[in-house]
Amino acid sequence: MLATLNAPISENSLQVVYEYPESLSPVVTHYCPGCTHGIAHRLLAEALDELGLREKTILVAPVGCSVFAYQYFETDGCEAAHGRAPAMATGLKRVQPDKIVVTYQGDGDLVSIGAAEILHAAARGENITTIFVNNAIYGMTGGQMAPTTLPGQKTTSSPFGRNTTMTGSPIRMSELLANLDGPAYIVRRSLHDVKNIRKAKKAIITALKVQMAGLGFSMVELLSSCPTNWGIQPEKALEWIEDNMVPYFPLGDYKVRDEVNGL
Amino acid sequence: MHQSFLLAGFGGQGVMFAGQLLAYAAMDEGLEVTWIPSYGPEMRGGTAHCYVVISDKKIGSPIVNNPDVVLAFNNPSFTKYEYLVATGGLLASNASLITQQSQRADITHLPVPATDIADEIGNLRLMNVIMLGAVVTAHGVLPLNSIKRALEGHLPAHRRDMLADNYTALERGAAFTSELFPVK
Amino acid sequence: MAKELLKGNVAIAEAALRAGLEAYFGYPITPQTELLEHLSRRMIQLNRVFLQAESEVASINMVYGAASAGVRTMTSSSSPGISLMQEGFSYIAASDVPCVVVDIMRGGPGLGNIQPSQGDYFQVTRSAGHGDYHPIVLAPASVQEAIDFTVLAFDLADKYRHLVMVAADGQIGQMMEPAELPPMRPIRAERPEWALTGAKDREKNIITSLFMQPEEEEAFNQQIQARLKVIKKNEQRWYEYLTEDADLLVIGFGTAGRIAYSAVEAAREKGLKVGLLRPQTLWPFPEDRLSELADQIRGCLVVEMNAGQMIDDVRLAVSGQVPVSFYGRMGGMIPMPDDILTAIEETLTRLYSAAGLPI
């Protein structure tokens, strides 16, 4: 180890093992410390690079913390109305089926206000890819209850903890959409540790391949952290995902059509 | 010349199509024309009606308070529209279904046993065309031949085999009127 | 091309297709459904995009997506559906993407009914959802105008990168008249340089309505306002009849306007000095011409199929120079020529007696 450190550094011995993805724009992040949106962005950018899709991709950003998602990607992009990203993506994709159209949506956007749009895009087997970031809370508006907020979880609009008698129980969207015939690929992954992050990236690559092959709707749900609005330290937030979210939102493959395995 | 027609009957009696035949015929004669239906739930089962306005000038309103000609295919239509016919106008009724006589002295009433005639031809659906033949002959604004050409041009594809029967219906209707009002 | 007997809804659909419509998204609602049905067949036959959306909310956002890709796209609906689309209109307005929306108005408020109405005048002319904006609004009064204005709508949308609405009512949608369709135009081969087509060999394109800095948002709004000013100057359209010597000017758009035409003819037969102004653009309202006419008339009679909405624009245009009276029907009731004639006679009587003139 010491010997290696003391050895003279020559040009030839340098290897690039890690670099900024071409599909990721060199901008300063606006996300909070410890937020996993940054990881999700990077995984999507790496996947686009590895599949050579940057020049044909159109990213549809949601309303929520990732409202500026289009600023982070070196692809064409747009900003949909709250919840309507799958509808806007449908318009974009139908008129140019040769392009890759990706929606990036949070839990408020996708599960609450945009429930109809995602459900019908999935049911139609719309050939788009959705990255669904589930952090069990409304981030941008300052920590209100989301449709994925866990029972008993305190938020600024459920100050006594989510009461499921009054507000219903969290919606498991991957399971729900997997019941439809339209989707080709629906999986849930988590961003709480390195092993799971690697699995998440593999899933994003598969989802994009599903779209490239024209197999239909694909979605990767990513369990994510929101230290700021959960009111806990970033490291603890990752543990909170594992301890609280994963049991309620089990990781796994909910819909993998046979053709997907051949990709 | 500016003439307004109101055609009314049960949904399924061919009210709309008879009105369209008038409209096509007027267009082919180089006249201005509008056709407007009642629409919505009443199309199914209830009383349906349409207005046709024919003019040699630009047409403003496609509907009128007092039509010059009313074709009543069923009882409710007769009851509802008899009093609306413009003074000096024509009220044609399907006498097979409508036994009432018009009480109005200021209009011409033309009762046509159209469903009976249709039955004689062998197809009850021809009632509307029989009524049209009778009215066009009594009214005189459009030649009977223009309706014939409209039938030829616009009878839906799946009813083409009924073209000859439609011609017969048109002529039977016309003949009924001619017997009633012999040419002076 | 020869004249055909065409239903308004079908004529609009076919005209849009011939104007180069590449993608249609819509949701069934009476009295515009024939429009959607016609395109469901024709667009597929021509290998273009037709999609029945899950709601009007989805329709307009699909249009937003297709418009962002730089193709000619449209949706159509009727009043309650147009209410649902307001959100999408606002985003489209703030993104400078061109598209066409057809509103075949029906009775309201609420679910109302399916009969013809002009109750959407405020809804279509005042803004596009929230924010400061006006769509260009074309108001046909016949099947032929419905065709011509649909084609014009696409051209204006592209010219100004603007939202253009064709606002008709159930009567125009449902009636048949002889009309001539335009020749089939080819689909546009090129996409505009701002379109989202993939950032290949160019900088990335972004379409957004989000401007977090108020300075930036204000500057963007100033751009919109500057464009609206140009549109207001260039695009005022109207139809005028027997106005030269008119003491009373009847003003109505769409169906109310064409029924008023019959009433004006009947009034002239009685020797009454009455003319007609029928706005063909509701925004921009033909205020310049109306302002000129206000110098030579004694009064206006506004006829609408609502409680009086366009009358606000008439009052603004005549700016107190002459009295403005109103005759309207609501809830899907259609004014009859005889009723408008009575209103004309009453209005003229008032105007003449106020001026001390013999009636």
For C218-242, the DSSP string reads HHHHHHHHHHHHHHHHH---EEEES
User: Each residue of A212-263: pLDDT tens digit?
Assistant: 999 999 999 999 999 999 999 999 999 999 999 999 999 999 999 999 998 8
Per-residue pLDDT for A7 more than 80?
no
Closest in A55, A78, A94 to C199, CB measured: A55
**pLDDT-derived band at C211, boundaries 50, 70, 90:** very high
**ipTM of the shown complex:** 0.94
* CA atoms of C185 and C14, how far apart (whole Å): 12
Please state whether beta strands C281-283 and C136-138 pair in parallel, antiparallel, or not at all (unpaired). Answer: antiparallel
Residues 284-343 of C with CB under 8 A from B: 334, 336-338
Q: What is the mean pLDDT of residues C23-30?
A: 97
Average pLDDT taken over every residue of chain A? 95
User: Each residue of A119-148: pLDDT tens digit?
Assistant: 999 999 999 999 999 999 999 999 999 999
Residues of chain B with pLDDT under 50: 184
Instruction: Give the pLDDT score at B182.
Output: 67
Instruction: Give the pLDDT score at B157.
Output: 87
Helix (H) or strand (E) holding C337: helix C337-354
* CA atoms of C157 and C274, how far apart (whole Å): 36
* CA atoms of B1 and B135, how far apart (whole Å): 17
* CB-based contact, A58 to chain C, within 8 Å: yes
Closest in C31, C336, C337 to B39, CB measured: C31
Instruction: Give the pLDDT score at A190.
Output: 98
Average pLDDT taken over every residue of chain C? 97
User: Each residue of B129-144: pLDDT tens digit?
Assistant: 999 999 999 998 899 9
* CB-based contact, C78 to chain B, within 8 Å: no
Instruction: Give the pLDDT score at B42.
Output: 52
Closest in C3, C170, C175 to B35, CB measured: C175
What single letter denotes the amino acid at residue C127?
A: S
Per-residue pLDDT for A1 more than 50?
no
* CA atoms of A249 and B5, how far apart (whole Å): 68
B133: nearest Cα among B176, B165, B94? B176
User: Each residue of C90-113: pLDDT tens digit?
Assistant: 999 999 999 999 999 999 999 999
Distance of CA C71 to the CA centre of its chain: 21
Q: Measured in Å, how far apart are chain C's first and last C-alpha atoms?
A: 49
Helix (H) or strand (E) holding A57: strand A57-61
Closest chain B residue to the Cα of C339, Cα to Cα: B65
User: Each residue of A175-186: pLDDT tens digit?
Assistant: 999 999 999 999
* CA atoms of C301 and C315, how far apart (whole Å): 11
B143: nearest Cα among B61, B58, B30? B30
User: Each residue of C238-248: pLDDT tens digit?
Assistant: 999 999 999 99
* CA atoms of C161 and C150, how far apart (whole Å): 16
Closest chain C residue to the Cα of B51, Cα to Cα: C175
Closest in C66, C201, C208 to A92, CB measured: C66
Q: What is the mean pLDDT of residues C149-170?
A: 98
Instruction: Give the pLDDT score at C165.
Output: 98
Residues 39-98 of C with CB under 8 A from A: 49, 51, 53-55, 57-59, 61-69, 71, 73, 87-88, 91, 95
Per-residue pLDDT for C319 more than 90?
yes
Instruction: Give the pLDDT score at A81.
Output: 97
Per-residue pLDDT for C180 more than 50?
yes
Q: What is the mean pLDDT of residues A8-37?
A: 88
Angstrom CA distances, A118 to A76, A112, A132, A227, stand at 21, 10, 11, 27
* CA atoms of C328 and C308, how far apart (whole Å): 7
